Structure 1
Amino acid sequence: MSEVPFARLSRRHLMAGLGAVFAAASTPAAWAQSAWPDKPIRLYVGYPAGGGTDYVARMIAAKLSQELGQQVLVMNMPGATGAIALERVAHSPPDGYSLIVISAADTILPALRAKLPFDMRHDLALVAPAVTGALALVVNPALPVKNVRELVALAQARPGALNYGSPGVGNSQHLAGEFFNRLAKVKIVHVPFKGGAEAINATVAGDIQVAFASLAPALPLVEAGKLRMLGVTTRSRSAAAPGTPTIAEAGVAGYDRATWFGIAAPAGTPREIVAKLNAAIARGMQGADTREMLLKQGLETMSQSPEQFAAFVQEELSQNAAIVQEMGIKAE
């Protein structure tokens, strides 16, 4: 089609052309995506400042601020085991300005609480994982076991006689222990504490024999001879403890439990914004300084596409629901 000379444009041509321009410019999705981000982004955390989730959130926020050229504000909204913040973001406008740090613990919550004011499978857009890490299977040194196979053998010989501790009911450490019971076909009794430090201290003192603990606080106690580490819970060995075998390779086939943290947005957030966030998180978390800081916490970077992360979270939700139902775990 030949170009219409400017001098010959009719009023009809002119108005039609201007109408198309203004229509495109006034489309909210098109405008939001082209301008995003043009104001600060809020990154919600469902737990108090100073904890593990908050630590990771502030690291991610700093990296996103650098990558996106816009301030990312950490908003602590504790309560209801993270559910208050999850509800807030799930019901926020899907414009890329409300995000939330989700973790392995959040994929346990729906299995424990039947009536949540949101649905993790449908009300959130999974953006990107950022950090992953192993838990440590540790025992009191007085326990006569040197490896996972010996622990399983002892637990099978003395069902119900051994105890393991965790920071309460329905957390990642609790399910790590119940998954161990399930696959190893043993019964090590769960003892809930008020926090992870209390569970580790009780293991050191010999009040309980076993714990599934975060690597960062466990490693110094292992090095000091106050705890013995038998394995790590992840599929692959941890960079923070490369000499320690995984529980799977040490004798409990199929065992794989990890701690992890990632970012989610409200469902319906434009794919272009999700992709931009995913790329920014991946770039920001790859620096040598970031890797070094994470390693000191027993953590490593984790990178997946939004589609891969969504599939990963769906699998976590399904596995946790099966463990909670089979083991009869009830919320406190």
Structure 2
Amino acid sequence: MMRTRSLLSAVVVSLLASFAAAQDFPSKPIRLLVGFPPGGSTDVLARVLAQEGRKPLGQEIVVVNRPGASGVIAINEVAAASPDGYTISVSPSSAFTLAHHFMAIRPDLLEATTALMLIGRQRIGIVTHSGSPQRTLKEFVENARKNPGKVSVGIPGLGTKVEVITRAIAMHEKIDLNVVAFQGDAGVITNVLGAHVAAGSFSVGGWATHVRSGAMRLLASFEDDRFDVAPGVPTLVELGYPLTGATIQHLYGPKGLPPAIVRRLVAAFTEASRSQAFIDIATQNGLYDKNPLVGEALDTFLLKDRAANTELVAKLGLGLKKKP
């Protein structure tokens, strides 16, 4: 009986301590991890989110870059962190729902973390440098057909939706593309501009400015619709490919975050995402979504995305054991 009372007392004390901590949250700066180098779309979105989130939270938000493994290094650090709300991160959903098919990592990253809210949609296209003689995706494919294994396409990381769609195009056309993975959009941008790769598949935030300036040329949209920056360029579906590559960017923390801290973070970052500064940066980078998902709706989206990606990878014969 005494032991039962002691256990109950310990539980009550623990709950009260957690409640008190949640009430005082945040009482110190928050770390916002980014699993990619500075300059890419995830980093840009995280930095404006941190900037605009400081006021509603009343604390500094320090952006810390932890590049590597297509964002998984940062995810693992968050998953191992104390569930107190002081270590959170922004990541593309593909790191949770797709990367495990291409890298020897745990497949349950969704279950190891707490999804907080969608903060952007990552829209993707394939581009070449302006000096390329290939002006359309059809011309690019024909060049690759004539030069098997010699035509390279840069992507922002392995295990991404970008990689799957790029390889799916190659399989659909029965061509041998040399897919080169970099750490984030920044590496792809540098190599496309320098003509070190023949093309790059990555998010609109990385290439929109260069397409507008004429330094890059868009060959196709991986989305359901065309891009405003190049309305004359068709989508993959319009070109006859049964493929789309939409993914999201979402904010997450460790598993077991107290509900009060979850509510505090979601409320603060929802306010931040409605600021004009955030809207402007997210729009400029092709990431803005005015209807962010939260809570159960976000969890459902991510679980469905993981199931759909598993089906797509199997259908295409991709993954660790069957890469083309």
Q: TM-score, normalised by structure 1?
A: 0.73
How far apart, CA to CA, are the structure 1 residues paired with 2:217 and 2:84?
49
**1:160-171 alignment runs, 5 A limit:** 160=148, 163-167=151-155, 170-171=158-159
2:24 corresponds to: 35
1:196 corresponds to: 188
Which one of the candidate residues 269, 282, 285 is aligned to 2:257?
Answer: 269
Cα drift, residue 103 of structure 1: 1.6
**AA at the equivalent of 2:102:** L
1:215–1:119 distance in 2 versus 1, CA, 3 Å: same
1:279–1:234 distance in 2 versus 1, CA, 3 Å: farther
Asked if 1:299 corresponds to 2:291, the answer is: no
2:207 corresponds to: 218
How far apart, CA to CA, are the structure 2 residues paired with 1:237 and 1:279?
33
**AA at the equivalent of 1:113:** M
For residues 10-41 of structure 1, give each alpha carbon's deviation from its aligned partner in whole angstroms, at most 9, with x where no partner exists. xxxxxxxxxx9xx6896233323333333322
**AA at the equivalent of 2:87:** S
Asked if 1:187 corresponds to 2:175, the answer is: yes
Aligned residues: 301
Which one of the candidate residues 19, 24, 47 is aligned to 1:58?
Answer: 47
Q: TM-score, normalised by structure 2?
A: 0.75
Q: Which has the larger radius of gyration?
A: 1
How far apart, CA to CA, are the structure 1 residues paired with 2:36 and 2:210?
26
**1:78-89 alignment runs, 5 A limit:** 78-89=67-78
2:99 corresponds to: 109
Cα drift, residue 128 of structure 1: 0.8
Asked if 1:136 corresponds to 2:128, the answer is: no
Cα drift, residue 120 of structure 1: 0.5
1:80–1:180 distance in 2 versus 1, CA, 3 Å: closer
Structure 1's unaligned 5+ residue stretches are 1-19
2:3 corresponds to: none
**AA at the equivalent of 1:59:** V
Cα drift, residue 295 of structure 1: 2.9
The secondary structure found in structure 1 opposite 2:288 is strand
How far apart, CA to CA, are the structure 1 residues paired with 2:58 and 2:294?
22
**AA at the equivalent of 2:50:** A
How far apart, CA to CA, are the structure 2 residues paired with 1:297 and 1:280?
22
For residues 174-197 of structure 1, give each alpha carbon's deviation from its aligned partner in whole angstroms, at most 9, with x where no partner exists. 223023345x45435133165303
RMSD over aligned Cα, in angstroms?
A: 3.7
Structure 2's unaligned 5+ residue stretches are 1-8
1:156–1:51 distance in 2 versus 1, CA, 3 Å: closer
Cα drift, residue 300 of structure 1: 1.8
For residues 220-259 of structure 1, give each alpha carbon's deviation from its aligned partner in whole angstroms, at most 9, with x where no partner exists. 5544556442332223444555554432244333x22135
1:274–1:193 distance in 2 versus 1, CA, 3 Å: closer
Aligned 8 A contact 1:155 1:187 in 2: no
Cα drift, residue 89 of structure 1: 1.4
1:239–1:165 distance in 2 versus 1, CA, 3 Å: same
Could you tell me the percent identity over the aligned residues? Answer: 24
How far apart, CA to CA, are the structure 2 residues paired with 1:142 and 1:80?
33
Aligned 8 A contact 1:24 1:30 in 2: no
